[in-house]
Structure formats: structure tokens, C-alpha cells
Amino acid sequence: MTDTPATSSPHIAVTGAAGYIGSRVVAELQEVHPDWEVTALDNFYLGDVRTIGDVDVQHVDIRNRDRLEDALAGADVVLHLAAISGVDDCEERADLAYEVNVHGTDNVAWFCRKTGTALAFPFSMAVLGDPQSFPITVDHPRDPMNWYGRTKYLSERSIETFADGSFPAHQFMISNLYGHHTVDGQRISKGTVINFFVGRARAGETLTVYEPGTQSRNFVHVVDVARAFVRSTERLVEQVAAEETGVEKYEIATDEDPSVEAMAELVAAVASEQQGQRPPVDIVENPRGNETLVSNFDVDWSRAREQLGWEPTRTVEGTVTELLAE
């Protein structure tokens, strides 16, 4: 853990704090830095966590700039996790996705520019489209294939512009999430591909894989992602004190990049061991035309290890085994 200045007691604000990642980030911050002040914001579009430890989640919509700036006042670092994040949700509610992901992020970044507050922001691997070379890094060309990726790309570039000469910012290219976590006894999860397979296996249902099945994804556990934000926050506190500005970019990923079919087969095998019955795996027609089908998804995440001191601690097989044993 990075040491923070002994004379300071940083104030950290988290947008999207009721969500899948945000709620875990707030919990981790309280555990690692109990003396820090934490402000948690969300509009409760999907997330429904209202209290995390001793922090109440305030109802704030990032599209309302005046209300947002009042809530962020005094923050040293903003961890900006509020977003319309589902590919399908963004396609079906394109206006909302633009207003939240682009306009809302501009509001956050503009606040940071005016105040010098540091900013951390996940722009997602959806900005890449079909990767053209491996291993993947944050330097890879951008060519988003869907509206979600396009909104994240617009926000990525906007933050670069706002941060230049004004505040330090970290941008995370995050791999595919999986796993769950618990906040004050409340289980927090999301319908990501691994979680979907585990849920189907627990119910004894067929694990459906979109064809061709050989498409690869890189997977990272939600708790490990939250830990990366804590590491980022510690570094950003130091960078604010040193009056640094500009953007640093990091890959938050792992060395695990199985094909979707291999992932389903793993879940089926573990379910067979745990439950005595193996759910079938069925490859079905792919209804999506806006996703990459590459059979390799190797990511170089060494920057996060070397500069943030972050490493993933969870594995896919270990998590699947744990979930199916519950």
C-alpha cells in the first residue's frame, strides 16, 4: 500500500456507488483507510445499495451539474464509476447512455478541472472493437463496435482534454468482470457471462454459448477491480499533493482468457463434481453482430503491477468452485 501524506486525511468521492463495482470500492476504501472521508453518490438506476458501512449513498444524478458539484465539493479524488454499462442497455436507451456516459462524465471532469480534484475512470475494453494485435494494451487503436464502446471512447478523450495541465487522472481499461461480493450482508452481483453460466448450472439448466464459441475473453474478478481503484486512489492522493496533472492509463486484467465455450465447459465440470449432475453445454446462434469474435484475448497488465502495485488475487476456477459450493 502506498503511504499517503501524514498531515492529510483525504476526502474521496465515488459516483455509481450503489453499483456492482462502486459498492465494493466504497467498502474497500473504508476497510483499508478507515480515517479517510468517503462520499458516495448514485441515482439508483440499477444499483440499490443505500448504505455501505457507515457511509450513506446520496441520491445524485451526474447529469445535474449543480447538484453534482455540491455533492463533490471538497473531494481530493473522484472515482467516477457511474455509467450505463450494458451493451444492450446502451443500444436500447441510446439517448440515456449519451446523457450519462458522455454528458455526465463531462460534468465530473469539468468539476475536476475547476478544482484540481483527481479523477479515476474506467473506459472499458469496448473502446477497442476487434483487437488488431496482442497482447492488448491501452495503446491499442480505438475502433468501438457498439454504442456503449463509443460513449466510453468519447469520455476517454474528453478526460484527456480536461486533465491536461489541470488535474491528475487515471483511466482503466477493464477486462470482463465476474464474481460477486457482499456489502453489509447484501449480495451484489451482475449478469456477466461467468455469473450467467454459474446461475444456469445451479438451476440445472443448459449452458447456452453463442456461436462460434471459440471467441475468447479476458476475465477479472470484481473484488480485484475494486482493489485496483483503491491503489489508484492512493497514488492520486500523492499526485495531487505533488501538483501533477495529465492522464495515466492502466490495463486491469489477468492472464486468464479462455474461450466462452471452454468457460462453459469448466462450469459444467465443476457443477458435475459439486452437484453430481453435469449440465449440458449448447452452442446456439449468435444474435449479436456488434462484438468481437477473436479467439485470443491476451492482455498485458504489467503497468498496473509496476506502477500501482496491483495484482489479481482471484481465479476463475476458484471462484466458480466457491459459487457452486454455496
SS3 of residue 16 by DSSP: coil
With beta carbons less than 8 A apart as the criterion, state whether 283 and 214 touch: no
Q: In this structure, what C-alpha cell is assigned to residue 264?
A: 462453459
pTM over 0.85: yes
What is the tens place of the pLDDT at every residue in 77-106? 999 999 999 899 999 999 999 999 999 999
SS3 of residue 249 by DSSP: strand
pLDDT of residue 290: 77
pLDDT of residue 219: 97
Q: What mean pLDDT do residues 155-159 have?
A: 98
With beta carbons less than 8 A apart as the criterion, state whether 158 and 148 touch: no
pLDDT of residue 8: 66
Pick 181-216+256-298+315-325's CATH classification: 3.30.230.10, 3.90.25.10, 3.30.70.260, 3.40.50.300. Answer: 3.90.25.10
Q: What mean pLDDT do residues 220-236 have?
A: 98
Residues of the chain within CATH 3.90.25.10 domain(s) are: 181-216+256-298+315-325
With beta carbons less than 8 A apart as the criterion, state whether 310 and 228 touch: yes
What is the tens place of the pLDDT at every residue in 111-148? 999 999 999 999 989 999 999 899 999 999 999 999 99
Side chain identity, residue 180: H
pLDDT of residue 1: 40
pLDDT of residue 218: 97
Residues of the chain within CATH 3.40.50.720 domain(s) are: 11-177+221-254+300-308
What is the tens place of the pLDDT at every residue in 5-46? 444 699 999 999 999 999 999 999 999 999 999 999 999 999
Percent of the chain with pLDDT over 70: 98
**Architecture of the structural domain at 11-177+221-254+300-308:** 3-Layer(aba) Sandwich (3.40)
One DSSP character per residue, 11-46 reads: EEEEETTTSTTHHHHHHHHHHH-TTSEEEEEE--SS
